[in-house]
Chains A and B, each alone.
Chain A
Amino acid sequence: MSMTTEATIQELAAQKYKYGFTTDIEMEEFPKGLSTDIVRLISAKKGEPEWLLAWRLKAYEAWLKMEEPHWARVHHPPIDYQALYYYAAPAKAAPKSLDEVDPELLKTYEKLGIPLNERAALAGVAVDAVFDSVSVATTFRETLAKAGVIFCSISEAVKEHPELVRKYLGSVVPAGDNYFAALNSAVFSDGSFVFIPKGVKCPMELSTYFRINARNTGQFERTLIVAEEGASVSYLEGCTAPMRDENQLHAAVVELVAFDDAKIKYSTVQNWYPGDADGKGGIYNFVTKRGACRGRNSKISWTQVETGSAITWKYPSCILQGEGSVGEFYSVAVTNSHQQADTGTKMIHVGRNTTSTIISKGISAGKSNNTYRGLVKIMPGASGARNFTQCDSLLIGDQCGAHTVPYIENRNSSAKVEHEATTSKIAEDQLFYCRSRGLSEEDSVGLIVNGFCKDVLKELPMEFAVEAQKLLAVSLEGSVG
């Protein structure tokens, strides 16, 4: 670890959750609670076509008939869905260009380290910024448009590219897929849309930055990424929220579609507010993410670094339909204090010679619970399929829990499935070795944890790997000694 990185960690550690501030800005909110009227209101507010309203209403009907799932190893008081606001957005009319964005908002994103001003922006990264329910700005649109890439908010895509949205929305995660996906389908307010046409390699990293600001507001964003034949794209999402005493709900849906030889790399650095040291407040992060490898030799790769949220419930999955398609899941999940994470993946092998790799690293500290839950399913037609799973858990302190729940279902004899899992505490001899070289105990833990997670961290785009490493150290602050 370099001196500067170390210094940064110390500094970050001192602040703990440094994204916890709120932005004072005039907001437009719909009345509390959920009803057909609210769904209609959201749809009308966004000037949506009739088919989309109908789709939302159908999802809402389905949701009403469903029950909140309780199979995950997470516990929370009942959520009062009628006490939430389902739409909150900056009151000013949607900006036409960056120059029109409310300066307060620009400042917010600058404070978060995401300058939206293109001159100051991270080189080579285009950003879509989503503030509570709506997208406030998307950078580098022209550069991308020249390459034929569409990158805009989903509300805009509904207006500008309705045929594309209609074709793919809900095609991977159907409106009634599960409780939270149905809720999202009924009330989603914004999110990102990416379309990479045939043969195009997206010239820059695409990134969406999600920010929850308003109180008692659920954030329900919807992301849709389509890569046509031979296209490729790397996409990254980041998330933060203010420190508030109440729990806030975040129920997103992400759908990915990859055709022949297309590649989609989807990375997440999730740092929603985790709640305070006593477990008060924090985000409930109930997310459905799924990718369909529809084409031959297509590839979808999920990388996630999950350090935030009071509760994380997400299983980014791949449906490997195309012959020779590839699914990957690289995950680091850190829980501390009273955080609960139940996360993993599903790899569904449908096509011949499909391969999947799962590398999951769970770190539990404090009084937290961290569960890996995964499914590897080989369908009868998936001859020659291969899966490799490595799933390791690290325990720091004796008040936390680490759990592993893999399901392995093989219905094709020519498939080969390998699974390994270990759970152990941080190795004394490694700690001692670091400390005898002069590192503090906390730094030693940080170093070892980073090493433990290396196979996952190296999958992150360069620009974010450093950020992720810092986050790990900050999340574990106070877990030793």
Chain B
Amino acid sequence: MVALPTKKLEAWRYTDLRPLSAVTFGAPPAAAATPDLPDLPFPRFVFLNGVLNAALSSGFAYAKPFVPVEGQGTQPMALINADYAQDGINIEIPAGQDAGELLLISQSDGITPFAFHPRHRVKLGQGAKFALIELNQGEGTYWQNAVFEVEVAEGAKFQHFRLQEESVEAFNTTTIYADIEGQGSYEHFTLTLGARISRTEIEANLLGQNALAHLNAAQLLGGTQHGDFTTIIRHKAPNCPSRQTVKSVLAGKAHAVFQGKIEVDQIAQKTDGYQMSQALLLSPETEMDIKPELQIFADDVKCSHGATIGALDEEQVFYLRSRGIPEAEARQILIRAFLEEALEPVTHDASKALFEEVLESWWTKQ
């Protein structure tokens, strides 16, 4: 196997994979129970322990058979994936088609530790439309190391909403490559709740004028969880906007990371890049590391990033209390408001409702 990256690599300075390398992973066992599937009226692909389950899956007009990997990507995790990938969805939406929604469900049951490396491909033709809703859930110890290859042709619109609710003993590393042509858009949102260690890494290339990337995330971590959201947006054409909002709420001894790099090529004039990351630390032993990065070679650009890390704002707490709201409740209201805002970038109603429900139950568990 290609070696796992270590903290000596600049891109991995905040994420330590030693707990992952300490586990010996076997081959995926056969799935035991049938999972609880969400009640959403969309076609679906269901993977149990990394293997496609035809009985639970429905047909999808634009699905193609899996093709072995030819080896794209330079990221260490993607290289590992390329060595092992045996399955994954392969979607091609022809030009001009609105393919609606598709659910991608991964349900795992790690009674004995196992690893799987899905390779998913999503290709949208000119002006096509598609929304992919991903649910990753499970129990026990396992490692999902997924790669997505995304191609968005001119004027096409791809929405990608991910719920990462893996078992708290599991590992999830996901690498996404997205090429976006002129007028095309890639809207991404990951809600991270699960996994002992997780990392979502996205490389988005804006290749034509007015191509757009929205790479958003919310991470809600407790216990000793570690969550990492790392992105690179490359502006390679003029007039492209990119937007990022990343919010983290940390309890227990959780550790969260956001690394966001915006690269602007010399020809990418009139780039409009905006990035915001906010973290709310709810207990003393949490850790938040943020590395927003701008690398700019064009002059007529507008790029900015902002970051704030801190506990709840005591001014706000006092304001609520001065209106008669007890302190504990005042704090709750403010935390929920922060989470509510985190979901703002989700523009897809069904996904938003799903995320809200998940947040609600996360909340009652706290």
B339 CB–A CB distance under 8 Å: no
Partner-binding segment picked from A43-51, A233-241, A353-361, A414-422? A414-422
Q: Which 5 A-B pairs have the closest CB atoms?
A: A413-B281, A416-B310, A395-B299, A419-B307, A404-B294
Q: Chain B: residues with CB nearer than 8 A to chain A?
A: 10, 14, 250, 266, 269, 279, 281-311
Are B298 and A412 neighbours in the complex by a CB distance under 8 Å? no
Say yes or no: A395-B301 contact (C-beta < 8 A), given A405-B293, A410-B288, A413-B286: yes
In A71-91, the 8 Å CB interface with B consists of 71
CB-CB under 8 A for A405 and B291, given A412-B284, A416-B309, A419-B306: yes
Partner of A409, one of B289, B300, B306: B289
Contact B299 A415 (CB under 8 A): no
Contact of B294 among A399, A402, A410, A425 (CB under 8 A): A402
Q: Could you give 21 example pairs across A and B, Cβ below 8 Å?
A: A393-B296, A395-B298, A398-B298, A399-B266, A401-B295, A408-B307, A409-B287, A409-B289, A410-B279, A410-B281, A411-B286, A413-B281, A413-B311, A415-B310, A416-B309, A418-B306, A419-B292, A419-B305, A419-B308, A423-B296, A425-B299
- What A residues does B299 contact at CB under 8 A? 395-398, 400, 425
Given contacts A413-B250, A421-B292, 12 further A-B contacts (CB under 8 A): A398-B266, A401-B295, A406-B293, A408-B288, A408-B309, A411-B287, A413-B283, A413-B311, A416-B311, A417-B308, A419-B305, A420-B306
A contacts, CB < 8 Å to B: 71, 380, 393, 395-425
Contact of A421 among B283, B305, B308 (CB under 8 A): B305
Q: Considering the complex, give the chain A residue whose CB is closest to the CB of B294.
A: A404
Task: From A397, A399, A410, give the contact of B309 (CB < 8 A).
Answer: A410
Residues of A within 8 A of B303 (CB): 422-424
A424 touches which one: B281, B287, B302, B311 (CB < 8 A)? Answer: B302
> Are A420 and B304 within 8 A (Cβ)?
yes
Chain B residues, CB < 8 A from A410 = 279, 281, 287-289, 309
Closest to B251 in A: A413
Question: Could you tell me the distance between the alpha carbons of A405 and B299 in the complex, rounded to whole angstroms?
Answer: 18
Q: Among A400, A407, A421, point to the contact of B306 (Cβ < 8 A).
A: A421
- Interface pair A404/B300, CB less than 8 Å apart: no
Q: Are A421 and B284 in contact (CB under 8 A)?
A: no
Bound-state CA distance A397–B300 (Å) is 9
Instruction: Give the residue among A71, A396, A400, A413 with the most B Cβ atoms within 10 A.
Output: A413
Query: Inside 8 A of B285's CB, which chain A residues have their CB?
Result: 380, 413
Residue of A395, A410, A414 with highest tally of chain B CB at under 10 A: A410
Q: Is the CB of B298 within 8 A of A417?
A: no
Looking across the interface, which residue of chain A has its beta carbon closest to that of B271? A423
Contact A398 B294 (CB under 8 A): no
C-alpha spacing A400/B297, complex, angstroms: 6
Closest approach, in angstroms, between the C-beta of B174 and any C-beta of chain A? 24
Distance to closest chain A CB from B56 (angstroms): 43
Contact B310 A417 (CB under 8 A): yes
The one of B266, B284, B291, B301 that contacts A406, using a Cβ cutoff of 8 Å:
B291
* Closest-CB distance, B220 to chain A (whole angstroms): 15
Residue of B nearest to A418 (CB): B308
Give the contacting residue for A398; candidates B284, B289, B300, B309; CB below 8 A. B300
Contact A425 B283 (CB under 8 A): no
Contact between B301 and A418 (Cβ–Cβ < 8 Å)? no
Chain B: CB-nearest residue to A403: B295
* Complex contacts, A425 vs chain B, CB 8 Å: 299-301
